[in-house]
Amino acid sequence: MKVKATKKVTKKSPPKKVAVKKVVGKPSAKEKAKTVVIEKKIPQAPISQKTPDVKIKTILLAQQKPESDKNPYTDIAKKHKVEIDFKPFIHLESVDAITFRKLKINPTDFQAVILTSRNTIDHFFKLCDDLRVKMHQDTKYYCMTEAIALYMQKYILYRKRKVFFGDGTFKGLCDSIIKHRDGEKYLIPCADMNKSEIGDFLAKQKFFYKEATILNTVPVKLTTKELNKYDMIAFFSPTGVKALLHNIPDYKQGKK
């Protein structure tokens, strides 16, 4: 009996998929050869003609010279090797008693006085003497800084509970007024061309106040000859510009 051998057929399993990791790195030499680099040239803007630099060697500041050498102008002069001079273009003159009475303001009707500078203090108490009025000993005085407050000792018996001061800023002064407010009427001695932020603040708070003009702004005499010595003039207020045009109506700024 013949036995026919049968061939065992086995099913082939599908080939396994092998995950290939993509390696990110520097391209090989062959890849570099196939890569075509296209350089895009960005058109440059036309170079504008530069204006020549103006050399500033002398500067005139239209204000009073600082009392101390420790100020930013000294540093600027050293750093940039320039000469800086100071000359106020205006000065303040006291209003006489006759003119002040026309305002119909009596300083003794106010329980608080706001004084922002030593100069204002001097002119205010001089005016009081001319008017023959004496401020009440309980009058409150508000000053911008402690130094100005201490200067009050020249005219009154200094008492901390009656003399208050801020940190030298407008906000500091306003905070001091709010803190010690007790229903007083406020008097603000000021110059004729003064635009008082203090008055705006008091009005906003609905406090009773009066601005009393005790100083007149007068232009200082200026000549074209002395101004032409400087390459630059710096102004700090519109009154300085008005003083310049008052002295030299036809003044024209040069190309400098």
Q: Sketch the domain layout of the chain as residue ranges.
A: 58-89+220-247, 94-215
**To which residue do tokens 């026919």 refer?**
4
Give the tens place of pLDDT for each residue, 32-82: 544 444 444 545 545 445 545 558 899 999 988 887 778 889 999 999 999
Q: Say how far residue 12 (Cα) sits from the centre of its chain.
A: 89
φ, ψ (nearest 5 deg) of residue 126: -65, -40
The pTM (predicted TM-score) of the whole model is 0.65
- Whole-angstrom distance, CA of residue 105 vs CA of residue 111: 13
* Structure tokens that stand for 56 in this block: 């500033």
Q: What is residue 44's predicted lDDT score, i.e. its pLDDT?
A: 57
Question: Contact, 142 vs 162, CB < 8 A?
Answer: no
Among 64-68, 86-90, 149-153, 244-248, name the one with the lowest average pLDDT. Answer: 64-68
Q: If one looks up domain 94-215 in CATH, what number appears?
A: 3.40.50.10090
Distances (CA, A) of 29 to 34, 35, 44: 9, 10, 34
